[in-house]
């Protein structure tokens, strides 16, 4: 029998029953029931650690960051060195965009445990977001101690420290980064080559054709193939640290990804009647993400109808560059005379690049396609979720990583409407200049 949530006082036994009931309801997704139980417990037992932890987690998951912060602070008041609660508190401040407060809390954790990998890693992400690249990239290296970034085939091999290679063979690989990260960081390969080594780059198969013309690569292999012998290695994501990158020294040779004139890459856009229309490629989903998984990047996804609504602006054509799980969402909106689906023409990123090269503008959520357009020097408008990635910095509408990129930022969680109001205004102004 369930304990009554209306009891004014709770014995230890009834408290245990209520906490168990709250946990069971949390796992079942009965959020309102959980909140009712926990608030009742805390009314009479305001310092109950178990209830505070569960309510903090529940509030945090549902973006009620202020309530989560109160819970974490009450826990820490009782247990000042509770590192898990301090981490949760830092993360809540991060999501409230109070980055300085979050950094201070990570510093507090590091006073308790100076070599705490997670605290260093996530402090690094925030410092990068604030533009402090020298310390940020150093802290960011601590991610490599996380099992997700460890690869058994690299055991017994030396990690490169950025020093002269003197003819050694170096392996650069993607270290579980996304496609966008790889495209962003492949620009460092010529700098690695200048250190005097033989450079092998191992990437997913879908990037092989795209990277064939990258300067400085001696051997390009797929991660699905046996790796050749090498003396030292580096994740691509460690190269900014190896080269002591600052905002002023980001490699800026553009375009660093170029389209081969080979007929194999000569894809044609669909023939349309209004051949003088402004051609816009677009991507609305991060792709290959489980929208039911709260740990996914689905928060970056934008409802497709916002893009379709851009067709209210005359003299533009829209071309879908979307691939993956959500590409077929566009079927709901076809046929429209100025809406074109290029998905079936895309087998890898070289195909996407060939299509981008024929467009006037790309508008994309934070995906690899935005990075690809930027690396090619193609005008690209990137639409950022409220809690955007470190590389986009803070309060900027441009990117030091891509001179041809313009950034549009959410003013609050999930508010795509405000972004598209800005996009429409900017697009109309842009068309007037054509």
What single DSSP character describes residue 251?
Answer: -
Are residues 421 and 360 part of one domain? yes
Are residues 427 and 296 part of one domain? yes
The string of pLDDT tens digits covering residues 122-168 is: 999 999 999 999 999 999 999 999 888 877 778 788 999 999 999 99
14/7 Cα distance (integer angstroms) = 9
Return the H-helix or E-strand segment holding 407. strand 402-409
The helix/strand count (H/E) of the chain reads as 16, 12
Least confident of 225-234, 263-272, 282-291: 263-272
Q: Supply the CATH number for residue 80's domain.
A: 1.25.40.10
Of 16 and 400, more confident: 400
User: With bands split at pLDDT 50, 70 and 90, how would you rate the model's confidence at 15?
Assistant: confident
Q: Which of 242, 274, 294 is a domain's end point?
A: 242
Query: How large a percentage of the chain has pLDDT more than 90?
Result: 76
**Residue 193: domain span:** 151-242
User: With bands split at pLDDT 50, 70 and 90, how would you rate the model's confidence at 293?
Assistant: very low
Read out DSSP for 334-401? ---TTEEE-GGG-SSHHHHHHHHTT-SEEEEESSHHHHHHHHTT--EEEEE-SS--GGG-SS-SEETT
Are residues 327 and 182 part of one domain? no
**Tokens, residue 198:** 């033989």
| In the predicted structure, residue 403 carries a pLDDT above the cut 50 | yes
Q: What is the mean pLDDT of residues 286-311?
A: 75
Are residues 86 and 20 part of one domain? yes
Are residues 398 and 271 part of one domain? yes
Mean pLDDT over all residues of the chain?
A: 90
**Tokens, residue 178:** 């996304």
Predicted pLDDT at 12: 63
263/265 Cα distance (integer angstroms) = 5
Of 14 and 7, more confident: 14
What single DSSP character describes residue 269?
Answer: P
Q: Which of 139, 173, 208 is a domain's end point?
A: 139
Predicted pLDDT at 260: 66
Predicted pLDDT at 2: 42
Predicted pLDDT at 156: 82
Are residues 187 and 95 part of one domain? no
pTM over 0.85: yes
Predicted pLDDT at 302: 95
Are residues 197 and 109 part of one domain? no
Predicted pLDDT at 11: 60
* 6 domain-assigned: no
Predicted pLDDT at 155: 78
Are residues 125 and 22 part of one domain? yes
| In the predicted structure, residue 220 carries a pLDDT above the cut 60 | yes
10 Å CB burial of residue 290 (0-12, 13-18, 19+) is exposed
* 253 domain-assigned: no
Q: Which of 213, 242, 271 is a domain's end point?
A: 242
Are residues 167 and 50 part of one domain? no
Predicted pLDDT at 50: 93
User: Cα dist. 404→346, 365, 370, 399, 419 in Å?
Assistant: 23, 15, 10, 8, 19
The string of pLDDT tens digits covering residues 97-112 is: 999 999 999 999 999 9
Are residues 155 and 133 part of one domain? no
Q: What is the mean pLDDT of residues 317-327?
A: 93
| In the predicted structure, residue 27 carries a pLDDT above the cut 50 | yes
10 Å CB burial of residue 90 (0-12, 13-18, 19+) is buried
Are residues 223 and 341 part of one domain? no
**Count of the separate structural domains present in the chain:** 3
Predicted pLDDT at 401: 98
* 25 domain-assigned: yes
* 231 domain-assigned: yes
Of 348 and 1, more confident: 348
Q: Supply the CATH number for residue 201's domain.
A: 3.40.50
Are residues 308 and 228 part of one domain? no
């Amino acid at each position: 029998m369930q304990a009554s949530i209306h009891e004014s006082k709770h014995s230890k036994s009834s408290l245990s029953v209520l906490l168990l009931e709250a946990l069971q309801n949390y796992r079942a997704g009965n959020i309102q029931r959980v909140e009712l139980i926990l608030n009742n417990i805390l009314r009479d037992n305001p310092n109950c650690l178990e209830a505070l932890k569960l309510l903090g987690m529940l509030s945090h998951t549902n973006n009620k960051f202020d309530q989560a912060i109160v819970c974490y602070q009450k826990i820490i008041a009782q247990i000042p060195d509770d590192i898990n609660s301090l981490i949760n508190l830092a993360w809540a401040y991060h999501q409230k965009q109070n980055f300085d407060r979050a950094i201070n809390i990570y510093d507090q954790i590091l006073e308790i445990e100076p070599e705490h990998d997670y605290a260093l890693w996530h402090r690094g992400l925030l410092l990068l977001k604030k533009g402090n690249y020298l310390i940020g990239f150093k802290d960011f290296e601590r991610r490599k101690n996380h099992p997700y970034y460890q690869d058994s085939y690299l055991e017994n091999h030396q990690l490169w420290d950025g020093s002269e290679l003197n003819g050694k063979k170096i392996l650069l690989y993607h270290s579980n980064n996304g496609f966008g990260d790889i495209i962003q960081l492949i620009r460092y390969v010529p700098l690695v080559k200048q250190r005097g080594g033989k450079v092998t780059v191992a990437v997913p198969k879908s990037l092989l054709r795209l990277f064939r013309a990258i300067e400085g690569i001696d051997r390009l292999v797929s991660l699905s193939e046996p790796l050749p012998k090498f003396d030292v290695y580096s994740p691509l994501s460690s190269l900014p640290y190896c080269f002591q990158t600052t905002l002023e020294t980001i490699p800026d040779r553009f375009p660093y990804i170029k389209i081969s004139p080979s007929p194999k890459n000569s894809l044609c856009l669909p023939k349309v009647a209004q051949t003088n229309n402004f051609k816009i490629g677009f991507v609305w989903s991060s792709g290959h993400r489980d929208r039911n998984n709260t740990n996914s990047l689905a928060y970056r996804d934008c409802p497709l109808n916002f893009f379709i609504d851009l067709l209210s602006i005359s003299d533009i054509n829209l071309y879908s560059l979307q691939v993956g799980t959500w590409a077929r969402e566009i079927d709901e909106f076809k046929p429209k005379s100025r809406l074109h689906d290029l998905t079936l023409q895309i087998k890898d990123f070289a195909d996407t690049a060939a299509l981008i090269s024929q467009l006037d503008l790309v508008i994309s959520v934070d995906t690899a396609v935005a990075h690809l357009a930027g690396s090619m020097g193609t005008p690209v408008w990137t639409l950022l979720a409220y809690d955007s990635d470190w590389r986009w910095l803070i309060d900027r509408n441009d990117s030091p990583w891509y001179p041809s990129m313009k950034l549009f930022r959410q003013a609050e969680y999930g508010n795509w409407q405000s972004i598209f109001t800005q996009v429409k205004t900017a697009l109309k102004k842009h068309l007037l200049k054509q």
